[in-house]
Amino acid sequence: MEIQPKQPSTKGPPERFTGDVWFDQIAGGGGSSRVRAAVVHFAPGARNAWHAHVLGQTLHVTEGVGRTQARGGALVEIRAGDTITSAAGEWHWHGASPDRYMTHLTVYEAPEQGPETEWGDHVSEAEYLAAAAST
């Protein structure tokens, strides 16, 4: 067994995020592990750009209210306790609601070779501010 000391929080880069987003890395893979996990904190209005995880992703909202959308799907409001899964290669985005913070745990697996995530365009204001369906 090995206890990993807490690492400093990392700010999400502006080329992949709109607004203030901070990561606390939990698992970054090591040795034979390809598991990635982090707690991600979104300030009100903050969100990531459109993206797809090569092997899919699971999110679990731990605090607050957020929004998520799969390409071609409805914008959905998400809340603490909700778990969201994105299939391998599914284009999507997620972030906080316009007036609330949102924190989620993200868990995904990296491929044996190549990039873990493909990044696209930023989510437009029109996409982000569309009427959301409640879960």
Q: Is residue 12, in this structure, part of any structural domain at all?
A: no
Q: Is residue 126, in this structure, part of any structural domain at all?
A: yes
Which domain does 79 fall in, by range?
28-134
Per residue in 35-55, pLDDT (tens digit) is 889 999 999 999 999 999 999
Per residue in 69-97, pLDDT (tens digit) is 999 999 999 999 999 999 999 999 999 99
- Note the pLDDT of residue 126: 93
- Note the pLDDT of residue 135: 57
CB contact at 8 A, 95 and 16: no
CATH number for 59:
2.60.120.10
Q: Is residue 113, in this structure, part of any structural domain at all?
A: yes
DSSP one-letter code for 112: S
Query: Closest Cα partner for 106 from 88, 83, 80?
Result: 83
CB contact at 8 A, 52 and 31: no
CB contact at 8 A, 123 and 49: yes
Query: Closest Cα partner for 29 from 102, 96, 110, 99?
Result: 110
pLDDT band at 3 (very low <50, low <70, confident <90, very high): confident
- Note the pLDDT of residue 66: 97
Other Cβ atoms closer than 10 A to 74: 11
Query: Closest Cα partner for 52 from 110, 103, 120?
Result: 120
Q: Checking phi first, is residue 130 left (phi over 0); if not, alpha (psi -120 to 50) or beta?
A: beta
Indicate the number of domains in the chain. Answer: 1
* DSSP H or E run through 52: strand 51-53
